[in-house]
Amino acid sequence: MVRMVYNFVVNNKKIFIVSILLSILAIKLDPYSWIGIILLIFLIAFQIYSTKNFILFFILSLLVVSSDISETLRIVLNTSALIFLMYVFFKDYGLQINSYPKLPSIIKGYVSFTIVIMVFSSLFSDNILTGFDETLRQILFFVMWYILFAYLSEEKDSYNYVLVLISAGAIVAIIIIYSFIVSDISIYLLQTQGIIHEGGSFKNVTAAAGIFAVTIPLTFILLLLNLKMNKILTYSLYAILLIQVIGLFLTNSRSGLMAVFISISIILFILNRKTFKRFILFASLSFILFYFILPSISELFAIYFRTDRVFENTRYYLWNMSIGIIIDNPIWGTGPGQFKNFMYHHIPVMLGSWDESQIAWIFKNAGLGESHNFFLFRTAELGFLGLLGAILLPAIFIHLSFKVMKRNFYNRRNYYLLVGIFSLGIGMLIRSFFESTGLLSHGWITRDLPFWICFAIIIHFYVIRTEKIQKK
């Protein structure tokens, strides 16, 4: 055993020397000593795992660790991930562009269109540097996403990506559940006001709910695939699904819950109409029973879903402000990342009021997407072309999804997976009418990466089938 450890150290002495130096440097840079630990873990993982497994490790780290724990941590992690991913990509593919995995023309066109409108919007904005900073982040996101797509070379790679997304969802859920249990404030609010609003390592609970909106449908589709085939795997998936559902409920994100409900409904509608009818009937009867017949449960239901605020929601003010900003900036918008600078020009409530305090909280704490509507967000910041881009994204996703589902209809395993991804995409689309992030948020990794990984799988199956047809 000692000999094996010795040989491992000798064979990988470069990695250990660099790791030790980084660790020493990090200790000297206290209180950021943990940066050295993160880099040490990455470097060791890079040596131990194969390239594809290393990429899976990075995806998990980006979604779980790169949350709202620390701005510095997020920057270090994202930068490290991009550098390592670019390194392994060029190591494997070199500089021969012709050998790179090909994206469909429609995707290349959409990515180019997105970048171009962000550049022009930045040039015509009040703060060009902020605009270009957001544009650069979006470009780097697309680069990272393309590298992830490039390593979808086999069918099993798609399932590995799905499994790592599900793992991330389960870990985020466990963190949320743990945070809720140990938080005195959360327990106090639940006992006194019936309010639950736990995000774990995410300051914005809707961000965590956005991850669940992707991972819960994926877990459900794998459960359907393995039902009655492997008992251990089936029970494990049941447990993971339950943990994620509990995590989602603790976030108290109505848009997240709605997205999951819609996704599950579409999955059942496509794959099993009889079960779909039972599911809808059960949901309808449960709603009637809990909301109209049992007063005590009805009260809890009303508190949890905040039904008293359906017609007095801060979102309505934000939508009103967004429309005002769009009217003033119809062509190029405010510029990427500059919506916040125009918010108080169109505030529809009195300063100092309770409603204004809610808007002020969003102004101070929302990192992006203050519109709380994906289409208004893209239009307000990027103008009319931003709205066009916002419409094109789901349209392209649905178009490609239909094609690959039709082509894989007789392959049960692939068909189920593609139906699951299509369904979660529709759920995310409906969610986007109430949340700005989750589809395309100027390269915000924790918000957008889950959806785009699923989109990459759809594109992968589309490219495979297209190549087979061309060869014939």
DSSP 428-449: HHHHTTT-S-SS-SSS-HHHHH
Sort residue 314 into left (φ over 0), alpha (ψ -120 to 50) or beta: alpha
Query: Sign of torsion, CA 249 250 251 253?
Result: positive
Left (φ > 0), alpha (ψ -120 to 50) or beta: where does 330 sit?
alpha
| Listed residue (201, 67, 70, 140) closest to 442, CA to CA | 140
Q: Is 98 exposed, middle or buried (0-12, 13-18, 19+ CB in 10 A)?
A: exposed
**Domains in the chain: boundaries:** 2-98, 103-271+371-471
Rg (CA), the chain: 23
**What is the value of pTM for the model shown?**
0.87
Written as six digits, the tokens of 20 are 């030790």
- Identify the pLDDT of residue 3: 53
DSSP state, residue 415: H
Place of tokens 């050998």: 99
Nearest to 169 by CA among 243, 255, 236, 232: 243
Q: How many CA atoms lie within 13 A of 234 on its CB side?
A: 8
pLDDT value, residue 2: 44
The pLDDT, as a whole number, for residue 414 is: 93
The CA-atom distances, in angstroms, between 170 and each of 30, 162, 215, 250, 453 are: 32, 12, 8, 14, 17
Residue 325, pLDDT score: 93
For the chain, list residues with pLDDT below 70: 1-50, 66-72, 184-202, 228, 294-312, 367, 369, 465-472
Which residue, 183, 139, 103, is CA-closest to 466? 103
Question: Using CA atoms, how far apart are residues 209 and 175, in angstroms rounded to an integer?
Answer: 13
Per-residue confidence (pLDDT) for residue 467, from 0 to 100: 53
Strand, coil or helix: 261: helix
Q: In degrees rounded to 5, what are phi and psi of residue 173?
A: -65, -45
> 17 CB contacts (<8 Å, ≥6 apart)?
none
Which residues does 389 contact at the CB level (< 8 Å), separation at least 6?
110, 113, 114, 117, 378, 382, 440
Burial class (CB in 10 A: 0-12, 13-18, 19+), 352: exposed
